[in-house]
Structure 1
């Protein structure tokens, strides 16, 4: 069996001091390798949400000393999960502020429009219809014009006819049919 001093003797190291230096150097390299494995695992947890990918990156750093961490650093996502969440929350907050401030955007080209525009000045698409009675802009969801009560053709549902009160009274006065 070959021992460590014999192995070092192959490289021509017979001095105890040099032997200690080489052992410390090997220990240092192993510690750096383990630190890189831990770094890969911790960084992957902050950047990747899939636990399988986190494990794969960690195993690659463990199995391929130094190269696994370098490969991970090349293919890792560019930003942290917390940064992605924060950016999405900021975008939602900005959209909420826009809605509260009354700023409207064209649904087709996202150009800023006002609530009384019938067409978008940028893409020329129709935004609203014009009331036939008072010529004010109508919201597409409205069934009647709220300004002049003009019914909007094609959107106003037919009203159900109510039975008159006297017809209802006759129904109560009628005897029940004899089922025997």
Structure 2
């Protein structure tokens, strides 16, 4: 006795199986399209990349989904944001460990001098004694104003020292400092003797005009 096929005939059973498989593949196809759309939105904000990714899965189904998994961005936007926060925290931690400008060794933020090379790093506050940076104008802890830093003043040359490059004075010492009377030091210096004035016209020979004839002395004949 032959066993009967469940459902009446194998053709009806085959159609039932194909229907179930088709519904499953259709649901899987729509699920992959929706998943791709959500995934690409979490990885990029570019609308062109989002559209191409959805069309790739929508047209090629499973092969398109495999291609999308290969070409999609590696990290999501949330992961990139977390990585940026970690990098900022690491940079802040490195900045907290400052280095000496002379020997490049790490120093603490409250060090006044470098313990390795004795370089002055900060100056103490006159009020509370806490270390202050040189760029600050007041103490943030007690509110005391910092005194202005004194700049080194170059030594000036003495008044009696001659300047470099200046020509020596040619004035005679006697004229610059007239001597007084040795017998009476308190007496004023004697005035120099007056010299006789010369006639400015005595040394000049008299010139005759060119048109005047010479004068002949009659007594000479």
Q: TM-score if structure 1 supplies the norm length?
A: 0.51
Change (3 A) 1:82 1:41: same
What is the rounded CA distance, in whole Å, between the counterparts of 2:89 and 2:151 in structure 1? Answer: 37
Unaligned runs of 5+ residues in structure 1 are: 1-12, 105-113, 122-134, 152-180
What is the rounded CA distance, in whole Å, between the counterparts of 1:117 and 1:148 in structure 2? Answer: 23
Q: Does 1:63 align with 2:48?
A: no
- The residue aligned with 1:149 is 151
- The residue aligned with 1:117 is 102
Q: Is the 8 A contact 1:37 1:58 kept in 2?
A: yes
- 3-state DSSP of counterpart to 1:72: helix
Q: Does 1:45 align with 2:41?
A: yes
Unaligned runs of 5+ residues in structure 2 are: 1-8, 106-117, 122-134, 136-147, 154-221
- The residue aligned with 1:95 is 91
Q: TM-score if structure 2 supplies the norm length?
A: 0.42
What is the rounded CA distance, in whole Å, between the counterparts of 1:97 and 1:148 in structure 2? Answer: 35
How far residue 94 of structure 1 moved from its aligned partner, in angstroms, is 2.3
Structure showing greater relative contact order (alpha-carbon pairs closer than 8 Å, 6 or more residues apart): 1
- 3-state DSSP of counterpart to 1:15: helix
What is the rounded CA distance, in whole Å, between the counterparts of 1:49 and 1:149 in structure 2? Answer: 57
- 3-state DSSP of counterpart to 1:40: helix
Q: Tell me the number of residue pairs that the alignment of Structure 1 and Structure 2 aligns.
A: 110
Q: Name which one, 1 or 2, has greater alpha-carbon Rg.
A: 2
